[in-house]
Structures are given as C-alpha cells and as structure tokens.
Amino acid sequence: MVNEMTPSKVCVLGAGSWGTALSVLLASKGIKVNLWARREEHATQLNSTRENAKYLPGIKLSKNIACTHKLSEALSGCEVILFVVPSHGLREVTKKVSKIIENGQEPLPLAIVSAVKGIEQDTLFTMIDVFQQELPAELSGKLAVLSGPSFAEEVAQKVPTAVTVASTKASVATMLQSLFATHYFRVYTSSDVVGVQLGGAIKNVMAIAVGISDGLGFGTNTRAALITRGLAELTRLAVRMGANPLTLAGLAGLGDLVLTCTGDLSRNRHVGLELGKGKKLPQILSEMNMVAEGVKTTKAVWQLAQKYEVEMPITEHVYAVLYRDLDPKDAVKHLLIRPPRPEVDFL
C-alpha cells in the first residue's frame, strides 16, 4: 500500500524488460504508473494486450499502468521520473524531459532516478553526469540511481531481490527506498552515487569476459578467477573516480557482478558465450532482442582506464576481442602470461 509520504504517481521512461518489471512492481503497491515506450506501435500493443510480449512475456500489466509514446503524457502529474532507457539514448530523452519541465508544463518532480547501467560514449559521463548537464539546476539535489543484482524477469515474478538506491541527499534516497520496497524487493540506501553507478556499468564488461571463458569451455576455476580479478579492476577504477571501496563490495558491486557473470538471463554473459564459441559480434547482436550494455561500455571503460591511468587487463582484452578482432583464445593466453604481481595493490 502507498502511505502519505510515498509518491502516488511515477513516470517510467523505457518499456523494455527492466522498465516494465519496475512498473509492475510499483503498480502492485497501488502506485499509478505512466510507462513510456519510444515507438507508438509498442505503446499501443502494451495497452491492448496488457503484456510486454517482446521484452517480458507472461507478465500481465495491471490497470495501474498506462502506456504511451507521448513524452508529455508520460510525465503528466508524476512525482518521480525513472529513466530505464539504453545509455546511448539517455541524453536525447533527458533533453526532451528537461524542455517540458522548463516550459512549466509539469511541476518539478520529487526525484529523477537512473536505472540505466552504462556509461555515455565519447563524453565518458555517468548517467547522473548527463542529468547534471541537461536537467534544470533546481533538480541537482534530487538525482538518484537504482542498481544491484536484479534480473527483470525474476523481479517481475516476485523472486526475492535486494538492490541499492543512491543519492547525495539522504531524504531523497530514503523516499525512494520506501517507494520501491516490497516484501520481495529489499532496498538499501547509499550516498555513493559514483560507486553505485560504476559498479552497475563495469560489471557488464566482466560478464562478457566470463562468458568468453565459459564459451571456450574453461571451468569454474577460471570463472571464479575472472570474477575476483574483475572485482579488483572495477574497484581500482571506481576508487580512482571517487567511489567508496566498500560500495564495490556490496550489492551494486560484487552482488551485481556475480549475478551478471553467472546468471543464464545475463545478456552480456550471452554475448561472451557466443564469442567464445566462435561467433562474430555483429551476428551475435543481430540475433538479440535486447541491448547488451557491456558492448558499448567496454569501449568507454577502456577509455576511462587510459584517462585515469588505471591498469585493467581484463577490460583491455575484452576491448581487443570486441573492437580489434583479437581471438578469444589469444586473449586468455595473453592474460595468463602477464608478469607476476601481488594480489592486493589497487588502493
């Protein structure tokens, strides 16, 4: 049930699997949800069939969810705006939202939330960085990020899940904690916006690496090594960019890393698996319904590693496989013959 302190209407921008799952979660609490789909035909299909057959089949949309392709309609009367679009489309949608808000068509929302796990290409901005640049200055203290180990399908099926919501303003984080929390969806708060975002983005790179290893037929020893050293890389870069290392040992770091590297529902692990089996990247992506954020994120993380002078060998080799046509078998060989070094030396 919604209490008097919880927002009663939320706009969810993005009708993929995760946007739909979060809409279903909120609607189950009696919250009104405006779910925005980029394509008109998709919004029409959602409204008529009450099911997102392409991205989240088998889950019914309740009467509390209204679907539209018109951004102004989606924002109408909403107290919280939740972005669940691919990272490469975030800036364009944010600009349009900002224009509507600046024109006074809607009052300032209580919070703007990113549930996008990626890094913007070219600028190397996090999603909150994009918000800071494109949204009205009055909203700078109302920005937040939702992340953690959470496959959309399992959340929609009410499988017990725990995530983190981060904001620099404690009252915003606490309000969003109440908004999203259910008996099966536990929400923790954090003030480490940088760490929560980077954990959610970089783990996708490591999932491709683990997928490649699994696709090549290596065992669980190899998988465990890649996850552990992947966490070291992730933490090394995140700390250099201002994150708290403890965040990366939590749900938004280690938790999401383990899920994405081992779960059969992981799109990024799937990309790696197919690469390890010998398929080429264009074919793999053409056969997928949904976006694997790790493909674009790998390039951005590799560039961040150069910018901050952080050693990230797993990222470097995944980048070479994706963008320089390095044979996956050679990537593993190169990783194994690197000079020996101490294990704990990243801080």
Distance of CA 319 to the CA centre of its chain: 19
**What are phi and psi for residue 65, nearest 5 degrees?**
-105, 120
**Encoded amino acid at 184, one letter:** Y
CA separation for the pair 287, 270 (Å, rounded): 11
Detail the DSSP E strand segments found in the chain. 9-13, 32-36, 51-52, 56-60, 65-68, 80-83, 111-114, 143-147, 161-166, 185-190
| 185-205 burial: b if 16+ Cβ within 10 Å, else e | bbbbbbebbbbbbbbbbbbbb
Q: Which of 42, 11, 39, 40 is nearest to 27 (CA)?
A: 11
CA angle (26, 27, 30) in 5-degree steps: 100
CB 284 within 8 A of CB 264: no
CB 113 within 8 A of CB 80: yes
Q: Which of 75, 11, 69 is nearest to 40 (CA)?
A: 69
CB 220 within 8 A of CB 171: no
Catalytic entry in 29, 32, 142, 203: 203
Strand order in the sheet with 143-147: 65-68, 32-36, 9-13, 80-83, 111-114, 143-147, 161-166, 185-190
CA separation for the pair 293, 270 (Å, rounded): 12
The answer to whether 158 is a known catalytic residue is no
Q: Rg (Cα) of the chain, in Å, rounded? A: 20
Task: Write down the residue that tokens 């099926």 correspond to.
Answer: 157
Catalytic residue list: 203
